[in-house]
Amino acid sequence: MPEPELTAEDRKLVTLARATRARIGAAEGAAVRDENGRTYAAGTVDLPSLQVSAVQVCVAMAISSGSAGLEAVVVLGESGQVAAGDLAVVREFAGAGVPVHVGDARGKISDSASS
């Protein structure tokens, strides 16, 4: 299956998500771009008392920085899938239609969906 076409800005999100995941050894890495072009990258948090997906951390960072929406999301991990809860968080914060690109840990994008 051919890799979905990404814009140059979305390819930057892939680089950020891949680097963040690798740096901390997280199950997933994610990156988002908000409506002002600011980017946020994070890895999965998996502590006994706190479990948050990489996408959820990115959305929380965007919200706490005053963002009002998202333009794009990238999530990378071994599963090659985006969790339904992550899509719901993106949709709740940014509305429907935000592109969500999903790929493996190396950054090869296998699927693109909308929130």
pLDDT for res 3 = 67
What single letter denotes the amino acid at residue 49?
S
Average pLDDT rounded to a whole number, residues 98-112: 95
What is the tens place of the pLDDT at every residue in 44-77?
Answer: 999 999 999 999 999 999 999 999 999 999 999 9
pLDDT for res 113 = 86
Angle at the Cα of 36 (from 111 to 44), degrees rounded to 5?
50
- Percent of the residues in the chain that have a pLDDT greater than 90, as a whole number: 89
Residue 75 pairs with which residues in a beta bridge?
30, 102
How many helices (DSSP H) and strands (DSSP E) are in the chain? 3, 7
Summary mean pLDDT of the chain:
95
pLDDT for res 1 = 52
pLDDT for res 78 = 87
- Percent of the residues in the chain that have a pLDDT greater than 70, as a whole number: 97
pLDDT for res 51 = 96
- Residues whose CB is less than 8 angstroms from the CB of residue 38 and which lie 6 or more positions away in sequence, other chains included: 62, 65, 67
This prediction has a pTM of 0.93
**Structure tokens of 16?**
């950020």
| Weakest-pLDDT range from 21-25, 38-42, 50-54, 77-81 | 77-81
